[in-house]
Structure 1
Amino acid sequence: MQRTFTQKIAPYVNAELANSKHANSIGDSRLEFTYLERAHVLGQESTFLHVKVHLLMLAWALRNILTREVIGQIIRTLGALLVTPLGLVPLGNTGGANVSPFEKMAIDPELAALIKKAKTGK
């Protein structure tokens, strides 16, 4: 049985989410969000993972009492749910409210290699 992109990329996304959780446990909220951004870049072509990461970003914003980020994440979560299945995601976008939800961004080479591996097996 052929594994889907979501199944192939999930271990890499989950590793970033584990790093994010660890950063939270040591009280480093900025580092926590950095790992959420990395998870976003990796998982944004999977509707399930894309929405999951935005919900975690929303939880982060709520914990940190950042109104602009809360509003941005609500909008981005709905957008991820609606546009990801259509393939309309700006690749490389880090997913925070500090960037346009439509902006395509350069992908860190390390993350690009993981995405390529998940897509092609190479």
Structure 2
Amino acid sequence: MTMALQQAFAAELDAARDNWRQGRLDAAFTHLENAHVLGQRRLGWHFHVHLWMLRVGWVKRDSREVLGQLWRLFLTPFGHLTGRLPIGNTGGANVSAFKPMPVRKELEEVLREHSPLDR
């Protein structure tokens, strides 16, 4: 793992937390989606992002998001065990948990530095 990936992931989580504290839940969720793309190949990071997404969904009283995140928290370990993690998936309940998605250019630049085994 490169320091760039770790720093980019931490920056997205920090931005999500800052927005959370200021009550900007939609902005927080956008940063969590970015963190999900960056961290989905690391079980701990991946699980942590889904916990935060659940927290945001709970506060927004968004039952679809809460149920979607509970489902994803259940699926995450299995995805890691089987290696079936859809690259680029943003992790929210508004998209299929199994759907690969295009990676935003800024995030792709960070991810490109890693070997296929790191991603």
**TM-score calculated relative to the size of structure 1:** 0.87
Match of 1:55 in 2: 51
Could you tell me how far apart the structure 2 residues matched to 1:51 and 1:10 are? 15
How far the C-alpha of 1:8 sits from its partner, in A, is 6.3
How far the C-alpha of 1:10 sits from its partner, in A, is 2.8
Match of 2:35 in 1: 39
Aligned-pair identity in percent equals 37
Aligned length: 115
- Unaligned regions of 5+ residues in structure 1, if any? none
1:76 aligns with 2:53: no
- Unaligned regions of 5+ residues in structure 2, if any? none
* Amino acid in structure 2 at the alignment position of 1:99: V
Task: Describe how 1:10-25 pairs up with structure 2 within 5 A.
Answer: 10-25=6-21
User: Structure 2 vs 1, CA of residues 48 and 92 (structure 1 numbering), >3 Å: closer, same or farther?
Assistant: same
* Amino acid in structure 1 at the alignment position of 2:68: G
Alignment RMSD? 1.6
User: Structure 2 vs 1, CA of residues 54 and 7 (structure 1 numbering), >3 Å: closer, same or farther?
Assistant: farther
How far the C-alpha of 1:58 sits from its partner, in A, is 0.7
How far the C-alpha of 1:11 sits from its partner, in A, is 2.3
How far the C-alpha of 1:59 sits from its partner, in A, is 1.0
How far the C-alpha of 1:6 sits from its partner, in A, is 8.4
Higher helix share: 1
Could you tell me how far apart the structure 2 residues matched to 1:25 and 1:47 are? 26
* Amino acid in structure 2 at the alignment position of 1:47: L
Match of 2:93 in 1: 97
Contact 1:43 1:49 in 2 (8 A): yes
How far the C-alpha of 1:9 sits from its partner, in A, is 2.8
